[in-house]
């Protein structure tokens, strides 16, 4: 075979990039990716898919925007749909560039996308309660004038929300420095606080990111960005024309219109199970469990790597977070049966 020097044409920032790790082990209980554990069959949402595949999808995904608009009381002009919220994060960084500021540990895609696009990333360590280090964060905004600030609240992988007062202060200072603040509310449906949608009317540098992935529809790939039409028009310049396919638009629209009461029931069940799981974990010797407002729980245990491997051997997959939070694992809330099996196995590993 004729060969060529592939390395010589790869951009330097891509050479140094570690891709998002999705390690798949075939496990009977999958509690690693913050998905909903409740199966959703297509036939529960639509009987017949009434679309013609010879045509491109609606580039504006208007029906889906209308469904979101009705349910969450947001104007369609203030919504942009993405192929998952990942895609919208990508578009934001592509549009506004850097520096991109975010606290760590957090969702790894902010940093991965910034690096792939080739913009500067600034990371500020969370404090010991996994809240924003206010002084450092505000100093960084003032000194570095980031184009974008990402705040995942509730935060992945820690599970807590950031203090609302701190977030508000950040938005107020950011607006003076012409920085956009993106509150990533991927886990908001599981959270007891009201979130930041009500503040959109007060700050035009504020964007909210939401997704259908955590509430039962991860297979569809639908995320949405909410903000001023002025900002969305700019982001729209880099959006690929048909980024959300016709099947996804159709199914997601029907899911929001006709299946949402079921989704809400699943969410309530997950919150109930999270409280049970939290209590159970806190009673296991050798484990430190952190509070959660999301559909997963972070916990610390010595030998977390060994525990992770033993859980896999027992057919249970959780996420090893030890590279970002020492000795820690993140477990997604599953069904009652899955959670019971997980707790039983974990107890056996630790105590047996």
Binding-site member from 211, 243, 253, 332 for ligand PMP (CB under 6 A): 211
Q: How many CB atoms lie within 10 A of CB 44?
A: 13
Minimum separation from the CB atom of position 232 to ligand PMP (A): 17
Q: Does 213 bind ligand PMP (CB under 6 A)?
A: yes
Q: Does 84 bind ligand PMP (CB under 6 A)?
A: yes
Q: Does 85 bind ligand PMP (CB under 6 A)?
A: yes
Q: Does 35 bind ligand PMP (CB under 6 A)?
A: no
170 in the Ramachandran plot: left (φ > 0), alpha (ψ -120 to 50) or beta?
alpha
Minimum separation from the CB atom of position 301 to ligand PMP (A): 22
Q: Does 223 bind ligand PMP (CB under 6 A)?
A: yes
157 cis-preceded (ω within 30 degrees of 0): yes
Give DSSP secondary structure letters for 196-228.
SGGGTTT-TTEEEEEESGGGTTTTT--EEEE--
- Cα of first residue to Cα of last residue in the chain, in angstroms, is 56
Region of 16-24, 82-90, 95-103, 319-327 interacting with ligand PMP (CB under 6 A):
82-90
Minimum separation from the CB atom of position 101 to ligand PMP (A): 16
Nearest to 180 by CA among 110, 118, 250, 130: 110
Q: Does 36 bind ligand PMP (CB under 6 A)?
A: no
Instruction: Return the number of the residue (90 or 203) whose C-beta is nearest ligand PMP.
Output: 90
Nearest to 94 by CA among 243, 242, 237, 244: 237
Apex 151 CA angle, 13 and 304, nearest 5 = 75
Q: Does 156 bind ligand PMP (CB under 6 A)?
A: yes
Q: Does 107 bind ligand PMP (CB under 6 A)?
A: yes
Give residues 260-289 in contact with ligand PMP (rule: CB under 6 A): none
Q: Does 161 bind ligand PMP (CB under 6 A)?
A: no
Minimum separation from the CB atom of position 133 to ligand PMP (A): 19
Q: Does 152 bind ligand PMP (CB under 6 A)?
A: yes
Region of 78-86, 120-128, 262-270, 326-334 interacting with ligand PMP (CB under 6 A):
78-86
Nearest to 145 by CA among 97, 80, 193: 97
Q: For 324, how many CA atoms within 13 A lie in the half-sphere containing its CB?
A: 20
Instruction: Return the number of the residue (147 or 152) whose C-beta is nearest ligand PMP.
Output: 152
Q: Does 189 bind ligand PMP (CB under 6 A)?
A: no
State how beta strands 296-301 and 121-125 pair. Answer: unpaired
Q: Does 190 bind ligand PMP (CB under 6 A)?
A: no
CB 108 within 8 A of CB 269: no
Binding site for ligand PMP (CB under 6 A): 34, 84-86, 107, 152, 156, 184, 186, 211, 213, 223
């Amino acid at each position: 075979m004729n060969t060529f020097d592939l390395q010589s044409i790869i951009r330097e920032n891509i050479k140094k990039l570690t891709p998002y790790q999705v390690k798949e082990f075939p496990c009977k209980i999958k509690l690693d990716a913050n998905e909903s554990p409740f199966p959703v069959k297509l036939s529960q949402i639509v009987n017949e898919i009434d679309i013609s595949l010879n045509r491109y999808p609606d580039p504006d995904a208007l029906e889906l925007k209308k469904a979101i608009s009705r349910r969450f009381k947001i104007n369609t002009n203030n919504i942009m749909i993405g192929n998952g919220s990942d895609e919208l994060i990508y578009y934001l960084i592509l549009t506004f560039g850097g520096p991109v500021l975010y606290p760590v540990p957090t969702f790894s895609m902010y940093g991965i996308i910034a690096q792939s696009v080739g913009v500067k990333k600034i990371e500020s360590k969370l404090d010991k309660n996994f809240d924003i280090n206010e002084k450092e964060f505000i100093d960084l905004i003032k000194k570095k004038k980031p184009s974008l600030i990402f705040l995942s609240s509730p935060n992945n992988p820690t599970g807590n929300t950031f203090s609302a007062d701190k977030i508000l202060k950040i938005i107020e200072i950011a607006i003076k420095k012409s920085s956009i603040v993106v509150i990533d509310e991927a886990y908001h449906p599981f959270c007891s606080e009201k979130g930041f949608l009500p503040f959109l009317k007060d700050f035009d540098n504020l964007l909210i990111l939401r997704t259908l992935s955590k509430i039962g529809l991860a297979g569809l790939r639908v995320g949405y960005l909410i903000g001023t039409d002025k900002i969305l028009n700019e982001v729209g310049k880099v959006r690929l024309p048909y980024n959300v396919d016709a099947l996804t638009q159709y199914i997601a629209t029907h899911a929001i219109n006709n299946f949402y009461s079921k989704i809400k029931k699943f969410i309530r069940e997950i919150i109930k199970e999270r409280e049970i799981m939290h209590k159970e974990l806190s009673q296991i010797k050798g484990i430190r469990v952190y509070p959660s407002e999301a559909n997963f729980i972070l916990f610390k245990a010595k030998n977390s790597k060994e525990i992770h491997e033993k859980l896999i051997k027992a057919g249970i997959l959780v996420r090893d977070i030890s590279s970002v939070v020492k000795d820690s694992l993140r477990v997604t809330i599953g069904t009652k049966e899955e959670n019971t099996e997980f707790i039983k196995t974990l107890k056996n590993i630790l105590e047996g």
